[in-house]
Amino acid sequence: MTLDLNLQALLPEIFVAAVTAALTLLEIFLPGWSRRNVNRLNFLGLGLVAISLLSVWGRQETAFGGSFALDPFSLFFKFLFLGSAAVVLVMKKNERAPCQPPLDPPGPEFHLLLWSALLGLFFLVSAKDFLLFFISLELLTLSLYILAAYTKKDPRSVEAGLKYLILGSLASAFLLYGISLIYADLGTLSFDALGARLREGGEVSWIFLAGSLLVISALGFKVAAVPFQAWVPDVYEGAPTPVVAFLSVASKSAGFAALLRILFGVLGPLEAERQALFPLFAALTLLYGNLGALVQTKMKRLLGFSSIGHAGFLLVALASHDVLGSEALLYYLIAYAVTNLAAFLVVSIVEISEGETLEAYRGLYQRSPVLAAGLFLAFLSLAGVPPLGGFFAKFLVLLAAAKSHLFWLVFLGAVNVAVSLYYYLNVIRLVYFEKPVTESPVALSLPSRCLLIGLMAAIVIVGLWQAPFLSLASLASSSLF
């Protein structure tokens, strides 16, 4: 990798790194001032990063000798990550252990780790070289391991972080071994060079195929695809809710961004192998996620299994036609992000005083109509009810599968939509048609109220006004082909 610094292409990453460094230095030299003003610093940093992303919009440049790419595809995900981080920072202000007094006062460590994870995400979606890709992924995952165990006085949080660390380390070993096999066979780590050599034709060696399978397996862990999904329910249940929200949206989106880059940028000539492998992954993931959610009695575990089910739909898109499937996947990620963040925002507020079981949501409408409406819209969208964003996302994914003649997968997806309706509507029934355990209203701060209303509006807008989001998805996916 040559040291070809293109500061314009790296501008958003420079701002993220600068905010991380500023928070670190302020905590060292001005700890009291830093803790009083940490939220202001965070949102100022988010604003500066957003401006830097807008300033490079529409450009296609490289850095580090072509190992780093600034293109519409990477910018699409960077805006998605930035929005997710903003919601998580608001959500963090509501965080406590369920039905208990607040734990440790929020310190700067959470924010530093969130920004370091954001830096890893930004580099990951721009990486076009396996070395930069691996370093970025490790920066992200190490930050997430610590964030999952951040509430150190809660044993479930520590357990969640430990489980995530152990299984995530195994996935990292798979990835590193797979990269080493690919390098041993073709002698390069560049995505462009690897893709060019495969397009030249000739027989693909078993060493390269084994390495590619290990890399895909490692990324299967990141996106919670069967059979690499075992960590999800336990980590979702034990980790702090803001961290779970970030995992469910930003980390999952990064995993699918990496899969898109590698499948179409590197492994494009192996289309037959992809179309043989990914429909099986998609079918197993759909069935496991939705059937597992049917018997859950805790909200975050239910959303964990739901997340696996949605990973199944995203894998259906990867199994479909290149262009149509990638566009459907990117639109799905937009709808999923606003929907899931709205659901977790409600969960982060309700669990403060009521706990984590589904019974805590009994009669929520009578205690907080705004929270009830947020959960109602989010769950209808996750279930795929028209005209919300989740419906059109699933429709586009199944349409892409149908155009690829994967009719059995379309049928299985439709069946899983029907299955998911049961457990989503069951929660809505508890919220609207059951008597509450207590009549006391659920406290809802003004920032959380405004954010929830904004996310509810986004769920409806993404569903009713698809054209700009489809255009954005089409522009981003064009960078891959």
Return all residues near 329 (Cβ < 8 A) that are at least 6 apart. 256, 260, 314, 317, 318, 397
8 Å CB contact between 341 and 454: no
Instruction: Of 37-51, 193-207, 325-339, give the lowest mean pLDDT range.
Output: 193-207
**Total number of residues shown for the chain:** 481
pLDDT of 248 strictly over 60: yes
Tokens of 241: 């809710």
pLDDT of 349 strictly over 70: yes
d(CA 115, CA 268): 33
| pLDDT for 107 | 59
Query: Which H/E stretch holds residue 368?
Result: none
d(CA 335, CA 351): 24
8 Å CB contact between 350 and 364: yes
Q: Provide the strand spans (E) within 359-470.
A: none
8 Å CB contact between 428 and 375: yes
39-98 residue pLDDT tens: 788 888 899 999 999 988 878 888 888 888 888 999 999 999 999 999 998 888 765 444
Reduced to 3 states, what is the DSSP secondary structure of residue 238? helix
* Per-residue pLDDT band at 462 (split at 50, 70, 90): very high
d(CA 248, CA 81): 11
Q: Please return the burial class of 279, using the count of CB atoms within 10 Å of its CB with bins 0-12, 13-18 and 19+.
A: buried
170-199 residue pLDDT tens: 899 999 999 999 999 888 888 888 888 888
Give DSSP secondary structure letters for 126-163: HB-BHHHHHHHHHHHHHHHHHHHT--TTSHHHHHHHHH
d(CA 424, CA 339): 13
Query: Which H/E stretch holds residue 175?
Result: helix 155-186
Count CB-CB contacts under 10 A for residue 195.
18
Cα dist. 414→224, 279, 434 in Å? 21, 15, 29
Average pLDDT, the chain: 87
Q: Break the chain into its structural domains and give their ranges.
A: 11-478
Q: Could you say which DSSP state residue 298 is in?
A: B
Q: Which is more confident, 65 or 409? A: 409
Bond into 242 cis (ω within 30): no
| pLDDT for 97 | 40
| pLDDT for 310 | 94
